[in-house]
A and B are shown apart, each in its own frame.
Chain A
Amino acid sequence: MIDVFFQYDFLRYSFYTSLMIGILAPLVGVFIVVRRLALLADTLSHITLTGIAFSMMMARYYPAFAAINPVYTGMGFAVAGSLMIEQLRKSYAYYKELAIPVILSAGIGIGVVFISLADGFTTDLFNYLFGSVAAVSRNDFTAVAVLTAVVSLLLLLFYKELFFLSFDEEQAVLSGIPARALHLMFIVITAVVIGISMQIVGILLVSALMTLPVAAAMRIAASFKQLFLFAVLFGELSVIAGMTAAFYADAAPGGMIVVINLLILGAVLSADRFLKRKEKPVWTSS
Chain B
Amino acid sequence: MSADREAVLELQGVQFGYSSRPVLEDIQLSVAPGSFLGLVGPNGSGKSTLMKLLLGLLEADEGTIKLFGTPVQSFRDWNRIGFVSQKAGSFNSGFPATVFEVVSMGLYGKIGLFRFMKKKHKNRVMEALRLVGLEEYSGRQIGMLSGGQQQRVFIARALVSEPELLILDEPTVGVDADSVRNFYELLKELNRNKGITLLLVTHDIGAMSDYVTDVACLNKCLHFHGATGEFISNKDEMMRAMYGHDVSVIEHNHDHGHHDHHHDHDRSEAVK
Write the nearest CB–CB distance from B199 to chain A, whole angstroms.
15
Write the nearest CB–CB distance from A21 to chain B, whole angstroms.
23
Write the nearest CB–CB distance from A282 to chain B, whole angstroms.
8
User: What chain B residues lie within 8 Å of A3 (beta carbons)?
Assistant: none
| Interface residues as binary, A155-195 with B (CB distance below 8 Å gives 1, 0 otherwise) | 00110110110111011111111000000000000000000
Q: How far is the CA of A226 from the CA of B55 in the complex (A)?
A: 34
Interface residue from B57, B96, B106 paired with A227 (Cβ < 8 Å): B96
Q: How far is the CA of A223 from the CA of B113 in the complex (A)?
A: 22
Question: Which of B98, B114, B117 is packed against the most chain A CB atoms within 10 Å?
Answer: B98
Interface residue from A157, A176, A223, A282 paired with B101 (Cβ < 8 Å): A223
**Residue B30 at the A interface, CB < 8 A?**
no
User: What chain B residues lie within 8 Å of A223 (beta carbons)?
Assistant: 96-98, 100-101, 139, 141
Q: How far is the CA of A198 from the CA of B117 in the complex (A)?
A: 35
Give the bracket for the number of chain B residues in contact with chain A: 35 or more
If A163-B105, A177-B109 touch, does A170 touch B95 (CB 8 Å cutoff)? no
Interface residue from B85, B98, B139 paired with A224 (Cβ < 8 Å): B98
A168 and B108 contact, CB distance less than 8 A: no
Write the nearest CB–CB distance from A70 to chain B, whole angstroms.
35
**Residue A34 at the B interface, CB < 8 A?**
yes
Q: How far is the CA of A111 from the CA of B44 in the complex (A)?
A: 49
B139 and A222 contact, CB distance less than 8 A: yes
Write the nearest CB–CB distance from A225 to chain B, whole angstroms.
8
B139 and A176 contact, CB distance less than 8 A: no
Using CB atoms, name the residue of chain B closest to A160.
B108
Question: Which of A168, A174, A175, A281 is packed against the most chain B CB atoms within 10 Å?
Answer: A175
| Interface residues as binary, B75-90 with A (CB distance below 8 Å gives 1, 0 otherwise) | 0101100010101100
Using CB atoms, name the residue of chain B closest to A168.
B91
A283 and B94 contact, CB distance less than 8 A: yes
Within 8 A of A (CB), among B108-163: 108-109, 111, 113-114, 116-117, 139, 141, 143-144, 157
User: What chain A residues lie within 8 Å of B12 (beta carbons)?
Assistant: none
Compute the total of residue contacts between A and B using a CB distance below 8 Å.
Answer: 90
**Residue B93 at the A interface, CB < 8 A?**
yes
Q: How far is the CA of A157 from the CA of B113 in the complex (A)?
A: 8
Write the nearest CB–CB distance from A194 to chain B, whole angstroms.
24
A222 and B109 contact, CB distance less than 8 A: no
Interface residue from B96, B102, B144 paired with A221 (Cβ < 8 Å): B96
Q: How far is the CA of A163 from the CA of B97 in the complex (A)?
A: 9
**Residue A218 at the B interface, CB < 8 A?**
yes
Interface residue from A34, A158, A171 paired with B83 (Cβ < 8 Å): A171
| Interface residues as binary, B224-252 with A (CB distance below 8 Å gives 1, 0 otherwise) | 00000000000000000000000000000
Using CB atoms, name the residue of chain B closest to A34.
B95
User: What chain A residues lie within 8 Å of B94 (beta carbons)?
Assistant: 218, 281, 283-284, 286
A157 and B96 contact, CB distance less than 8 A: no
| Interface residues as binary, A231-271 with B (CB distance below 8 Å gives 1, 0 otherwise) | 00000000000000000000000000000000000000000
A170 and B96 contact, CB distance less than 8 A: no
B144 and A177 contact, CB distance less than 8 A: no
Question: Which of B78, B92, B94, B100 is packed against the most chain A CB atoms within 10 Å?
Answer: B94
Q: How far is the CA of A54 from the CA of B104 in the complex (A)?
A: 46
A281 and B144 contact, CB distance less than 8 A: yes
A to B CB contacts below 8 Å, 22 in the list: A34-B95, A34-B96, A158-B113, A164-B105, A170-B85, A170-B87, A171-B85, A171-B157, A172-B105, A175-B78, A177-B108, A177-B109, A218-B94, A218-B96, A222-B96, A222-B139, A223-B97, A223-B100, A223-B101, A223-B141, A281-B93, A283-B92
- Contacts beyond the supplied A171-B105, A175-B105, A176-B78: 17 A-B pairs with Cβ under 8 Å: A34-B95, A157-B113, A163-B97, A167-B97, A171-B83, A171-B88, A174-B57, A174-B78, A175-B106, A175-B108, A176-B76, A223-B97, A223-B98, A280-B144, A283-B92, A283-B94, A284-B94
Identify the B interface with A (CB < 8 A).
Answer: 55, 57, 76, 78-79, 83, 85, 87-88, 91-98, 100-102, 104-106, 108-109, 111, 113-114, 116-117, 139, 141, 143-144, 157
